[in-house]
Amino acid sequence: MGCAISGLATKTEFSQRDREEAAAAAAAAHLSEEQVQMIKDSWKVIRDDIAKVGIIMFVRLFETHPECKDVFFLFRDVQDLERLRTNRELRAHGLRVMSFIEKSVARLDQPERLEALAVELGKSHYHYNAPPKYYNYVGAEFICAVQPILKERWTAELEEAWKTMFQYVSSLMRQGYQDESARQRNLAASPKDRLDKKNTAL
Q: For 30, phi and psi rounded to 5 degrees?
A: -105, 130
Query: Residue 198 burial by CB count (10 A; 0-12/13-18/19+): exposed, middle or buried?
Result: exposed
**Helix H or strand E encompassing 60:** helix 50-64
* Distant-in-sequence, close-in-space partners of 60: CB < 8 Å, separation ≥ 6: 141, 144, 145
In contact, 73 and 4? CB cutoff 8 Å? yes
Specify the DSSP class assigned to residue 118. H
- Closest by CA to 109, choosing from 34, 54, 16, is 34
What pTM did the predictor assign? Answer: 0.76
CATH number for the region 31-185 comes to 1.10.490.10
pLDDT-flagged residues of the chain (< 50): 1-14, 24, 27-28, 200, 202
pLDDT value at position 134?
85
- Closest by CA to 39, choosing from 153, 148, 137, 131, is 153
Domain ranges of the chain: 31-185
Give the whole-angstrom CA distance, residue 168 versus residue 21. 13
* Count of all residues that appear for the chain in the document: 202
